[in-house]
């Protein structure tokens, strides 16, 4: 795996308006450093216990994104430095993020994860739930979180048309919310969709952030 070539190759395929998040989960700091040396500054991790030591070890100009399902009791470990949390799937998580952000005197940007896949195992809100959340009284009180958009993961399938349909549906929800009247701490700016196997489709369907792991770092080995 030539990480530098992979990054350059992917960069050529995505528009400059789309942000490339290099998903470095399971890969050691040496590999992340290689990507960093190739100019990559934005990295995504899905586990707090893996993210914090990597944050400690690597350059402080890296922008760290949390992309995996989070337990509320872990928020405190990343509140001081996390750039964006993509995986908000409950109101209670948002409340805890607000509490921890307040403690470190920050405003933390978040994406609401929408369940667009067929698999039950994937996390996220339904369309109706997200509309309710964005209009809830509760959100108005969360002054230290800022909702900046939506995130979704398509079904794990070879069927490109199904993937496209799911991304298109998410983009439609995004556009609908973008033109709705939302509270001051919710702005629809970012649409995080697309991974190694489907980022081209996601870009065609309007993604503004792709989360690419194995196409940069190679296959993951879970121990």
Ligand X SMILES: *Cc1c(COP(=O)(O)O)cnc(C)c1O
Q: Which residues bind ligand X (CB under 6 A)?
A: 23, 25, 46, 67-68, 153, 195-197, 211-215
CB-wise, 139 or 215, nearer to ligand X? 215
Whether residue 23 contacts residue 67, with contact meaning beta carbons closer than 8 Å, is answered with yes
Instruction: Between 55 and 199, name the residue whose CB sits nearer to ligand X.
Output: 199
Q: Is the dihedral of CA 6, 223, 54, 46 positive or negative?
A: positive
Nearer to ligand X, 62 or 142 (CB): 62
Length of the chain: 223
Residue 99 CA to residue 76 CA, distance in Å, equals 9
CB neighbours of residue 177 within 10 Å: 20
CB of 87 to ligand X, least distance (A): 7
Q: Which residue, 20 or 173, has its beta carbon nearer to ligand X? A: 20
Residue 214 Cβ, how far from ligand X at the closest point, in Å? 4
Based on CB atoms, which residue is closest to ligand X, 142 or 150?
150
- For residues 151 and 113, the answer to whether their CB atoms sit within 8 Å is yes
Name the residue nearer to ligand X (CB basis): 142 or 195: 195
Cβ 202 to ligand X shortest distance, Å: 11
For the bound state, the minimum distance from the C-beta of residue 194 to ligand X, rounded and expressed in Å, comes to 8
* Best CA proximity match to 152, nearest among 55, 87, 73: 87
The answer to whether the CB of 145 falls within 8 A of the CB of 97 is yes
* Nearest residue (beta carbon) to ligand X: 213
**Phi and psi at residue 13, to the nearest 5°:** -95, -10
Supply the minimum distance, in Å, between the C-beta of residue 138 and ligand X.
25
- Note whether 62 and 42 are within 8 A (CB): yes
Strand pairing category for 19-23 and 42-45: parallel
- Tell me which residue has tokens 């009284």: 137
3-state secondary structure at position 203: helix
Find the shortest distance in angstroms from Cβ 70 to ligand X: 11
Angle at 126 (CA atoms; ends 108, 50), nearest 5 degrees: 45
Quote the least distance from Cβ 45 to ligand X, whole Å. Answer: 9
Looking at the Cβ atoms of 47 and 99, the one nearer to ligand X is 47
């Amino acid at each position: 795996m030539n990480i530098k070539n992979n990054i350059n190759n992917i960069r050529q395929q995505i528009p400059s308006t789309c942000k490339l998040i290099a998903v470095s989960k399971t890969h050691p700091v040496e590999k992340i450093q290689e990507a960093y040396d190739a100019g990559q500054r934005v990295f995504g991790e899905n586990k707090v216990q893996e993210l914090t030591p990597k944050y400690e070890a690597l350059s402080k100009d890296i922008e760290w994104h949390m992309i995996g399902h989070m337990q509320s009791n872990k928020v405190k470990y990343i509140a001081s430095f996390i750039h964006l949390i993509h995986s908000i799937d409950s109101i209670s998580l948002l409340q805890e993020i607000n509490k921890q952000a307040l403690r470190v005197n920050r405003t933390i940007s978040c994406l609401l994860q929408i369940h667009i896949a067929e698999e039950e195992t994937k996390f996220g809100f339904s369309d109706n739930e997200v509309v309710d959340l964005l209009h809830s009284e509760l959100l108005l009180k969360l002054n230290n979180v800022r909702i900046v958009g939506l995130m979704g993961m398509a079904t794990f399938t070879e069927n490109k048309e199904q993937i496209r349909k799911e991304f298109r549906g998410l983009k439609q929800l995004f556009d609908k919310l973008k033109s709705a009247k939302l509270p001051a701490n919710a702005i629809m700016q970012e649409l995080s969709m697309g991974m190694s196997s489907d980022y081209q489709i996601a870009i065609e369907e309007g993604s503004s952030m792709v989360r690419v792991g194995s196409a940069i770092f190679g296959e993951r080995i879970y121990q």
